[in-house]
Amino acid sequence: MPTKLPPWVNYGLLPLMNLGMAFLVAGLIVVILGESPIEAVRLLVFGAFGYGEAVGYTLFYTTNFIFTGLAVALAFQCGLFNIGGEGQAYIGGLGVGLVGIYIGHWPVPIGIMIGIMAAALFGGLWGFIPGWLQARRGSHTVITTIMLNFIAASIMTYLLVDPLRREGQQIPESVTFDERIWLPQLHEVFAELGLAIGRSPLNASLFIALVCCLLYWLFVWKTRAGYELRVVGRSEAAAVYGGISPARQIMIAMTLSGALAGLMSLNEVLGAQHRLTLGFTGGYGFVGIAVALMGRGHPIGIILAALLFGALYQGGSELAFDMPTINRDMVVVIQGLVILFAGALEHMFRPWLEARFARPAVPAPA
């Protein structure tokens, strides 16, 4: 949305104000429940960063959110709202899972590389479907992605309850993959170097996520393809005028978006659990929406917002443990509030901010 605000306000002050409002409301809820918000924040921060393991877990969650945040952000660049991160990550996990189950024993790093490709491919497919429907049939991505989330859950439940289920067990999950396809966990890597950083599922997919951030930045702002995508996102009429096919860009955007969400499964399936489980996406697809909105579509912003939510998730666990009145779902509440203030109410502060910080309008020529 065109803005008269200088970049530091648009990317710095505004998100902070939105976040502040979200925390204010959350703090009010905490007070209503009879606890001290200050104490809650203290527990949260300590729980997220206070010791080695905590940091590891925080970064582990952050990795998930970088992937899903990038996915939502990329779709936004084309003017599309991708709420299907959950389903795309889930199906991406199916791809990775199949690789892990059947060819997990292939030599390192071939298995991992194929796994990465499978995650992106399968997730991309689940993004392509709503993209095609929007481009060729005019079906609104919001509804179709929501529907596909549910369908993905049905598919995965069926697969994990029956065909893919580990023999002789009732739990709906697959066999554990051969170690050759496990993504190295960072605490093990550091241990080799003689450093102890606390056990956590934090693994190499963090670096894959950061690489994706770089690729996202390059693609969106530095390439011709990204330019075409952005034109469609801002103005379909201008795109058609400029010889750019909106249908094509929409499909590309949704497919890439789905691929990014699909990659999230690497972190959980290959990096942490080493097998395919039910519901490993755990709502992280929706967090991506909050992350993308807070990060205002910029890769640095997304990393910071992902870090924030990673801290909230990890800290939130600790908080729920030490302050039993507030349970883990408080983090979900904050997530929703962030989306509310950074997304739906994003214009609320704008008039006030524009009055203070806007560049003066250019006067008409004499």
Partner 1 sequence: MSVAVTAGQPAPAVALEGVNKSFGPVHANQDIALAVQPGTIHGIIGENGAGKSTLMNILYGFYQADSGRILVDGKELVIKSPEDAIAAGIGMVHQHFMLVEPFTVLENILLGAEGGWTLEAGAARAREELLRLERDYALEVDIDARIEDLPVGIQQRVEILKALFRGARVLILDEPTGVLTPQEADHLFRILKSLKEQGRTVILITHKLREIMAVTDNVSVMRGGEMVAHRKTAETTTEELAELMVGRKVLLRVEKRPARPKAPVLDVEHLEVVDELGVRRVKDVSFTVRAGEIVGIAGVAGNGQSQLLEALSGIRRITSGRVLLHGAPVLDAADARRKKLGHVPEDRLRMGLVRGFPAYENAILGYHLLPAYAEHGFLKKRGIIEHCLGWMKGYDVRPVAPLLQATSFSGGNQQKLVLAREMEHDPDLLLVGQPTRGVDIGAIEFIHKRLIAMRDAGKAILLVSVELDEILSLADRIIVMFDGTITGELEASAADARRIGMLMAGIREEMAA
Partner 2 sequence: MEEFWTQALLLTASTFRLATPLILAAMAGLFAERSGIVDIGLEGKMLGAAFAAAAAAAMTGSAWVGLMTAMGVSFALAMLHGFACITHRGDHVVSGVAINITVAGLGPVLADAWFRQAGRVPVTGEGMRFRSIELPFAQALADVPVVGPLYANVLSGHNILVYVAALSVPLTAWVVYKTRFGLRLRAVGENPSAVDTAGISVTAMRFRALMITGLLCGIAGAYLSIAQGAGFTRDMSAGKGFLALAALIFGKWRPVPVLFACLLFAFADAIQARLQGVDLPLVGEVPTQAIQALPYLLTILLLAGFVGRAVAPKAIGQPYVKER
Asked if 236 interacts with partner 2 (CB under 8 A), we say no
**200/53 Cα distance (integer angstroms):** 6
Residue nearer to partner 1 on the CB measure, 251 or 306: 251
Q: Which does 224 bind (CB under 5 to 8 A by kind): partner 2, partner 1, none?
A: partner 1
Residue 106, number of CB atoms within 10 A of its CB: 17
Among 106, 190, 336, 358, binds partner 2 (CB under 8 A): 336
Residue 230, number of CB atoms within 10 A of its CB: 19
Contact positions with partner 2 (CB under 8 A) in 152-171: 154-155, 157-158, 161-162
Which region, judged by CB under 8 A, interacts with partner 2, from 107-115, 211-219, 227-235, 339-347?
A: 339-347
CA 20 and chain centroid, separation: 21
Joined together, the tokens standing for residue 345 give 């109410």
User: Cα–Cα–Cα angle for 282, 287, 288, nearest 5°?
Assistant: 115
Transcribe 90-130 into DSSP letters.
HHHHHHHHHHHHHHTTSPTTHHHHHHHHHHHHHHHHHHHHH
Largest CA distance in the chain: 84
Could you tell me the smallest distance in angstroms from the CB atom of residue 75 to partner 1? 17
Kindly tell me the burial class for residue 7, based on how many C-beta atoms sit within 10 Å of its own C-beta (0-12, 13-18, 19 or more): exposed
The helix/strand/coil state of 232 is helix
| Residue 124: partners with Cβ closer than 8 Å, 6 or more residues away | 255, 256, 258, 259, 262
Report in angstroms the alpha-carbon separations of 1 from 11, 32, 76, 351: 13, 37, 11, 14
Could you tell me the smallest distance in angstroms from the CB atom of residue 77 to partner 1? 11
Kindly tell me the burial class for residue 284, based on how many C-beta atoms sit within 10 Å of its own C-beta (0-12, 13-18, 19 or more): buried
Q: Which does 225 bind (CB under 5 to 8 A by kind): partner 1, partner 2, none?
A: partner 1
Residue nearer to partner 2 on the CB measure, 140 or 222: 140
Tokens 């409002």 sit on residue: 21
Residue nearer to partner 2 on the CB measure, 113 or 348: 348
Residue nearer to partner 1 on the CB measure, 239 or 311: 239
User: Cα–Cα–Cα angle for 29, 32, 34, nearest 5°?
Assistant: 115
Asked if 37 interacts with partner 2 (CB under 8 A), we say no
Could you tell me the smallest distance in angstroms from the CB atom of residue 309 to partner 2? 12
Could you tell me the smallest distance in angstroms from the CB atom of residue 205 to partner 1? 27
Asked if 19 interacts with partner 2 (CB under 8 A), we say no
Residue nearer to partner 2 on the CB measure, 270 or 290: 290
Could you tell me the smallest distance in angstroms from the CB atom of residue 207 to partner 2? 29
Among 348, 352, 356, 359, binds partner 2 (CB under 8 A): 348
User: Cα–Cα–Cα angle for 347, 145, 128, nearest 5°?
Assistant: 115
Asked if 144 interacts with partner 2 (CB under 8 A), we say yes
Could you tell me the smallest distance in angstroms from the CB atom of residue 126 to partner 2? 12
Among 24, 327, 352, 356, binds partner 2 (CB under 8 A): 327
Residue nearer to partner 2 on the CB measure, 150 or 227: 150
Instruction: By CB under 8 A, name the binding residues for partner 2.
Output: 29, 33-34, 81, 83, 133, 137-140, 142-144, 146-148, 150-151, 154-155, 157-158, 161-162, 286, 289-290, 293, 325-327, 329-337, 339-340, 343-348
